[in-house]
Chain A
Amino acid sequence: MAAGMTYFPIATATTSGSISTTTFSSISGAYTDLVLIVNGGASTAVNMQIQFNGDTGTNYSRTALTLDNLTAVSSRQSSVAYTRLEDGGYLSTTFPAKNSIINIMNYSNTTTYKTAIGRANNAGTGLDAAVGLWRSTSAINSITVYIASGNFTNGTTLTLYGIAAA
């Protein structure tokens, strides 16, 4: 089987100042999957939330498996205005204790709803595996990552990669 080179950094944002929202926009459909990696913290303990294509409607849901300190739990949110792929691995004031790797699967097809699979880790608070759904068949061309309170700690990095299939 022939092989081609496929894993490309699309853009990296490093926060500085009072930043609570970062948007990756004009994402081309050149890839098969997207991978978003976040390392950092926040001025308050808070979960990171995600919206696609500027959709603020209640078209998102999620299911999580969480280790909350020493307790394993599972939770769900349905028909909410964002997807969230963390509970135990949230942003905290300890920097840079938190990291997340979020796979946005087959983001550019216009046939299926969009599924994202994520892992989040915070050495001081817990960790998560979570799956999110955006009930839209639109190709994803922008991703907004935001926190509902406080700001990202300066130096928090958000890097978006594209993976292109053969």
Chain B
Amino acid sequence: MPLITTLANASARGYGGLRAAAAPAFDSDFESIATVTVGSGGTTSVSFTSIASTWKHLQIRWIARENTGSVSTPDENIRIRFNSDTGSNYSIHRLNGNGSTVYADGYANQSDVVATGFSGNGATASIYGGGVIDILDYGNTNIYKTIRSLSGVDQNGSGSVWFNSGNWRDTSAITSIELRESTNGFKQYSQFALYGIKG
């Protein structure tokens, strides 16, 4: 159980000015479905399969870094496909801040959607980008599927933060998700955790 302390200023410590409450564990509508931690040697893709339609939304929380190559930029992409669809049925829009410039782009008829903002293998060791991807109403068989993500990495001197959105033009319920970095792969200790959110 964490202890919460407060400081009225830099030199005075006090306990009376703050109410701290630690709530007990309770039934959650946010459930862990599966987690993949990349092992020694890295991998070029991670897949979640046989995803039930139990939940209303899905969320993927991740950290990642490229496994090979010498690129040190903070703008690598996680490429995402649903239900093994390799067709040009995806579109994306991105909004980025790189520490000095605001940048935006968009692409139609892509073969995947992306979450952007992790380090190449040439960046300072131990730096991994991270992010949160929401896949909205993934089990709905009447609508195309929309994702959004907030992600990025700071590399102490360079860095990038990204808002991405994407669309998969398919009304099928999403039952599988593939996350790829097919050129340089994901490095050991990269982690992808899939959660379901009840409606």
Contact = CB atoms under 8 A, between A and B. Distances in A.
Chain B associates with chain A: yes
Interface residues of B, number: 73
Given A63-B99, A63-B152, A66-B97, A111 B189 contact: yes
Nearest to A67: B102
A20 B128 contact: no
Nearest to A10: B2
Contact of A5 (B28, B63, B100, B127): B28
B189 A131 contact: no
B18 to A, nearest CB: 5
Secondary structure at chain B's binding surface: helix, strand, loop or mixed? strand
Given A3-B31, A4-B32, A33-B61, A11 B157 contact: no
A117 interface: yes
Contacts of B136: none
Secondary structure at chain A's binding surface: helix, strand, loop or mixed? strand
A130 B25 CA distance: 30
B75 to A, nearest CB: 11
Nearest to A4: B32
A113 B193 contact: no
Contact of B27 (A5, A33, A78): A5
Given A24-B4, A133-B153, A135-B156, A19 B20 contact: no
Interface string B46-71: 00101110100000011101000000
B28 A8 contact: yes
A15 B6 CA distance: 9
B152 A146 contact: no
Contacts of B117: 131
A81 interface: no
A49 to B, nearest CB: 12
A27 to B, nearest CB: 5
Contacts of A166: 32-35, 193
21 contacts: A1-B52, A3-B32, A7-B30, A8-B23, A12-B20, A13-B6, A17-B8, A22-B6, A23-B6, A23-B7, A61-B155, A65-B95, A66-B97, A72-B102, A73-B97, A106-B128, A115-B153, A129-B97, A129-B161, A131-B151, A137-B126
Closest 7 A/B residue pairs (Cβ) = A65-B97, A17-B17, A74-B97, A63-B159, A76-B99, A131-B152, A105-B130
